[in-house]
A = this chain, B = another copy of it.
Amino acid sequence: MKTVPVGVSARHIHLSQSHVEALFGEGYQLTSMKPLSQPGQYAAHETVEVRGPKGGFPKVRILGPARSRSQLELSRTDAFAVGLQPPVRESGDIAGTPGIRVIGPAGELDLEEGVIVAARHIHFHTSDAQAWGIADKQRLTVKLEGERGLILEQVIARVSDSYALDMHIDTDEANAAGAKTGDRATILD
């Protein structure tokens, strides 16, 4: 049985260093509140407000460290609430996606693009992927057990020496399955 731990991603934002400074002040550096499952990644103490055409969220967690481009990841439920229709995309694939207003304690900015619904995916360390015969970018079918048990198709395999084994789903997917962080999922094929 190929089982993987489940990590549920609530809405969050990645920021470029220049956007960190635009929102928090010149030279500002994000600070780590809690390490995440992927080595070197962390939930920052810092949050921002985001405002879309229909609504916003006052406190969206920043995940660090800073990236080359800013990106806001919403569930589809969140997207309806703010009035945007972002596509389902892999992290980093933001061309042509909607933008949104972002507000920090020291400044505001309009992201021109970068709002996505994150495509569900599994991070595999290269050694895990080799042991299970799974290739980077492969689409997998994965089962979540429970009273609302469901089977997710089109789960993207992401393989790297810098990854730790973890399946990332958003809050809509977790709530539809009655799943929570720390549950186990089974790769069917």
Query: Could you tell me which A residues sit within 8 Å of B by CB distance?
Result: 75-77, 80, 88, 120, 147-154, 170-173, 175-178
Cα(A173)–Cα(B76), bound, Å: 11
A61 to chain B, nearest CB (A): 15
A151 touching B150, Cβ below 8 Å? yes
Number of copies of this protein chain within its complex: 2
Chain B: CB-nearest residue to A169? B176
Cα(A170)–Cα(B77), bound, Å: 11
The 5 closest A-B pairs by CB, nearest first: A76-B175, A151-B151, A176-B176, A172-B175, A173-B176
A88 touching B151, Cβ below 8 Å? no
- Please give 7 more A-B residue pairs, beta carbons under 8 A apart, in addition to A151-B151, A172-B172: A76-B178, A148-B154, A149-B153, A150-B151, A151-B153, A170-B176, A172-B176
